[in-house]
Structure 1
Amino acid sequence: MPRLATPLTESEIRALEPRATRYCVADGNGLVIEVMTTGTKIWRFRYTLNGKRQPLATIGDYRMISLRVARAKAQRYAALVAQGISPVATARRDRGAESKADVLREAAELYVTTALAGKSDEYRRTTRRALDKDVLPAIGNKPIGAVTADDVVAICERIKSRGAPKMALHTRNVVKRLYAYLIARQLATSNPAEVVPARSIATFDSRTRVLSGAEIGVMLRTIDTSNIRRPLKLALHLLVLTMARKSDLIESRWAEFDLDNALWTIPAARVNAREDRIVRLPRQAVALLRELQRARTSETFVFPSVRGDDRPIAKSTLNQAVKALGLDVEHFVLHDFRRTASTHLRDMEQQSAAGADITNREATDEAARDRRTLQSWADFVDSQMELARQTVDGTA
């Protein structure tokens, strides 16, 4: 019987580094991966036949064979060994078929079974649908390196002709992510979808872009779990909670905040207005600002530049942070946060007016109404983040 081993994971395999001499790491049930001095990783099958240890049977190149497929082959070879049959001839035939992995259809299968294994059911479903419906029928039999930007554009144009520009953009993004994976696995050298601008596929009126509740939750959850600097995460979260303009927030000063009374007073001169602008902060925003206050490095600015010259971060900093995350949200810009909040609040207020019993005095108390409205919005945002967390964790 093969020696028991702790099963490997895809991330552990990717992390294996070459050494001065090649070496093997066992996955279990006879399956091992051999790391060559060049960094190439080869699946092998270790077995004993007729009481004698046999030379390793080669399964194939890790770049073309996923962990799941390698395990299935090892299991099949083990069944042959149990019958007293050498698996070498079968392994050789399998390797003959391995060359198919240089065509996009086989590479896409490798992508789906490995890269998408930890994604949600909905994410896998929509990705698989785009591949099966539009991508693979058109270019599935092409060699990986032969797919061009023109191929991607042609696919997107066919989808747009069906009256589905958003689906066309989604499909382009699927191809882009697929090729990013293939490049990381050294199966491709360039990304044909990366040079196809999103705006050339589908353009949307940015004045009408509103994020859904689910998009808000996923976006903020992605920001929160990313590796960008903590102050930038909090700034993006505060943009959503306060509905402030980006410039108003990043140029804000500590002197403008009264956190004990949950107030942010933006001076009229700073916003080119006749009167100061009052923002009544929900408790979530106050908590984020207190965290920033405890860790502050500037006596003046809430979001100081890391250059240490006591000035706020550049106006492009938050945009660059969001861009670096690669958020898969169609035609999104930071200003969409304000429009999104306003739209959702209108819907919430209409529902509240239809079902709530509000006294005349409360209705005329503008300050109380504003505070109540922003708190309801912050609670809604929290609920969407929690739903996104549950979806990722599989507890929804």
Structure 2
Amino acid sequence: MALTDAKLRKLKPDAKAYQMADDGGLFLLVQPSGRKSWKLRYRMGGRDAKQEKVTLGDYPTYSLADARSWRDDCKALIGRGLSPMALRRGDPIPDDATPAAKELAELFIRHWCVAAIERARQQEAEAKASNTVEAFAWEWFQKIAEPANSNPRNIKRVLDKDIIPAIGGKALDEVTVTDVLAITDKIKNRGSDQMALQTRNIMKRLFSYAIAREKMTSNPAAAIEAKYIATAKSRDVALTPDEVGRLLRAIYQSSMNRSHKLALHLLILCMVRKSEMIEARWEEIDLAGAEWFIPGERMKMDHPHFVPLSRQAVAMLEELKGLSSGSEWVFPSRNTLSKPISKTTLNSAVRSLEHDVRDFVIHDFRRTASTHLHEAGFNSDWIEKALAHETKGIRGVYNRAQYADQRREMLQWWADFVDSQIDEGRKVIIGRFGKAYQAG
């Protein structure tokens, strides 16, 4: 059955190449990649002669009408003893061809062979242009980055200011680690180490998408570790609300152990030190009363510490109760239930994350909570007590109260605030301690 324009538009690639035939030996070859090429089968000298094949070019660059006109011209050549494949290949016109045959061959070469070469060059140029960093970066920004970020203007500014001016004209598969380092070094020379790291992270996400689209085979930005670009000092770091949300989304979308995800989330909510969290015992925790009493021997200042638990924290601990398999430890080691997880377990989990949040250490969770609680107007004494900081001097004598009710209200506000950051920008399933639980 002859092809139609409607049928051609509906053709889809398959796992293997296949052919769609038209009349007179003309057919369309459909490759698994989606490329579609017009070809013609014919024989020179009758049925017993060897079959030859010649290619016109790609569809839809050449329409069905173009292909049929080309087929008819090829047939006219064949009828005069001339091979379209030989002419397409650039072989000279045979000396013994008739004047009419030579004239027809010259017309065929000008109209089809030369034109096909020019069109192929044009296609190659167009394909190369579409594979440049600039063209692909804006495609990625519109399809991926802009919809997924609550503030995509920062990404657009980085693309406009630093990435595209430097490597926008390069083909994606030509970008090297040296190119990435040249961009980040230039930014660092402006005195903006953290912006250099952010720019590297944007390139890493861009090139990761290019790999998924089969435009690249390796990620030159991923080959450069963040610590070689910028290392933020712990005392300088307090995560922004947006960074808190992005970090927790990355944690919950990662493949790390579920109990480790909950431990990191609880560290943010409870404002305790890492050692106080990982060495927690169930005997310290009163789930019914939503309270956690840490004995003095486990505290840095040797004073017992009381942590009011938010609704979210209680729900996480209830889940952890089931995950702990009867161990006395809230976070038992995977190798033996008689010991807690090691001091490096959560650090390793954080280092394994794929995220675009600046460098930080787990201890920065406490500073982050303190910063945002102060900005929200909560009393400094409540915050310091939540951090188990001892106030010295006369003020400390009068501030020995636990501020239990105030801290309970404050930590519930903080847990709700953190939840709102997780939900900002995109949804992620974190567990039953989300909004539905709070409503109860």
TM superposition score normalised by structure 2? 0.63
Counterpart of 1:228?
256
For the residues of structure 1 that align with 2:408 and 2:305, how far apart are their CA atoms? Answer: 14
**Deviation, structure 1 residue 364:** 6.4
For the residues of structure 2 that align with 1:86 and 1:153, how far apart are their CA atoms? Answer: 49
After superposition, give the CA deviation of every residue in 1:303-326 in whole Å (9 maximum; x if it has no partner): 122224432222222223233331
1:45/1:307 Cα in 2 relative to 1: closer, same or farther (>3 Å)?
farther
For the residues of structure 1 that align with 2:128 and 2:320, how far apart are their CA atoms? Answer: 55
Q: Could you tell me the percent identity over the aligned residues? A: 40
**Deviation, structure 1 residue 335:** 1.3
After superposition, give the CA deviation of every residue in 1:143-199 in whole Å (9 maximum; x if it has no partner): 445433333232223323444333222212222223333444454344333343434
Counterpart of 2:6?
2
Q: Mapping of 1:355-394 within 5 angstroms?
A: 366-389=403-426
**Deviation, structure 1 residue 243:** 0.7
Which amino acid in the other structure matches residue 123 of structure 2? D
After superposition, give the CA deviation of every residue in 1:94-148 in whole Å (9 maximum; x if it has no partner): 245324456444454554465547533633x433432232122222333445433
For the residues of structure 1 that align with 2:17 and 2:369, how far apart are their CA atoms? Answer: 57
1:294 correspondence with 2:286: no
For the residues of structure 1 that align with 2:407 and 2:29, how far apart are their CA atoms? Answer: 62
For the residues of structure 2 that align with 1:375 and 1:257, how far apart are their CA atoms? Answer: 17
For the residues of structure 2 that align with 1:86 and 1:140, how far apart are their CA atoms? Answer: 37
Which stretch of the first structure deviates more once superposed, 321-330 or 105-114? 105-114
Q: Which secondary structure state, in structure 2, belongs to the residue aligned with residue 320 of structure 1? A: helix
1:91/1:296 Cα in 2 relative to 1: closer, same or farther (>3 Å)?
farther
Counterpart of 2:34?
42
1:97 correspondence with 2:126: yes
After superposition, give the CA deviation of every residue in 1:345-374 in whole Å (9 maximum; x if it has no partner): 222235899xxxxxxxxx967222222222
Which amino acid in the other structure matches residue 263 of structure 2? A
Q: Which secondary structure state, in structure 1, belongs to the residue aligned with residue 288 of structure 2? A: helix
1:380/1:3 Cα in 2 relative to 1: closer, same or farther (>3 Å)?
same
1:300/1:350 Cα in 2 relative to 1: closer, same or farther (>3 Å)?
closer
8 Å CA contact 2:132–2:171 kept in 1: the answer is yes
Unaligned residue ranges in structure 2 (runs of 5+): 20-27, 39-54, 71-115, 382-399, 430-440
TM superposition score normalised by structure 1? 0.70
1:34/1:225 Cα in 2 relative to 1: closer, same or farther (>3 Å)?
farther
After superposition, give the CA deviation of every residue in 1:43-100 in whole Å (9 maximum; x if it has no partner): 4489xxxxxxxx99746xxxxxxxxxxxxxx6xx69x66xx55599697442453244
Q: How many residues were matched structurally? A: 335
For the residues of structure 2 that align with 1:45 and 1:109, how far apart are their CA atoms? Answer: 29
8 Å CA contact 1:216–1:385 kept in 2: the answer is yes
8 Å CA contact 2:128–2:171 kept in 1: the answer is no
Q: Mapping of 1:137-216 within 5 angstroms?
A: 137-216=165-244
Which stretch of the first structure deviates more once superposed, 237-246 or 135-144? 135-144
Which amino acid in the other structure matches residue 346 of structure 2? L
User: Pick from 317, 324, 328: which aligns with 2:352?
Assistant: 324
**Deviation, structure 1 residue 341:** 0.5
User: Pick from 149, 158, 161: which aligns with 1:120?
Assistant: 149
Q: Which secondary structure state, in structure 2, belongs to the residue aligned with residue 264 of structure 1? A: strand
Q: Which of 1 and 2 has greater Rg?
A: 2
Counterpart of 2:160?
132
**Deviation, structure 1 residue 285:** 0.6
After superposition, give the CA deviation of every residue in 1:209-257 in whole Å (9 maximum; x if it has no partner): 1112222223223323444332222111111110111121112111111
After superposition, give the CA deviation of every residue in 1:246-301 in whole Å (9 maximum; x if it has no partner): 12111211111111111112222233543322212112111111122134313211
1:312 correspondence with 2:340: yes
